[in-house]
Amino acid sequence: MPNHKSAEKRDRQNQKRNEINSSNRTRLRSQIRKLRELIEKGTPQDALQALPGTISVIDKSVQKGVLHRNAAARHKARLTAHVNERQAK
């Protein structure tokens, strides 16, 4: 339990940031999961259409500090490669 006003405020700020970070992380993971499902089970055209939206969510999570920029680049490269591979088949 915080004993000072500043500690109480910091506690409120941490709780608020945690909720925001959690929702952003959930949005990112859900979008990546949806694209991976489309790559596996959907038509190649559906996966190709969902790719720009997923890349946009990944880029936004880098801006919000949810994901490191190198990790984001790795995700984008691998997802794009899987979509392109699916298109070629």
The per-residue pLDDT for 1 is: 80
Confirm or reject CATH 1.20.58.110 for domain 5-88, answering yes or no: yes
- pLDDT for the residue numbered 55: 98
For residues 9 and 35, what is the distance between their CA atoms, to the nearest angstrom? 39
Single out the residue of 88, 20, 19 nearest to residue 48, CA to CA.
88
pLDDT (tens digit per residue) in 47-72:
999 999 999 999 999 999 999 999 99
pTM of the model: 0.87
| Cβ-based neighbour number of residue 50 at 10 Å | 20
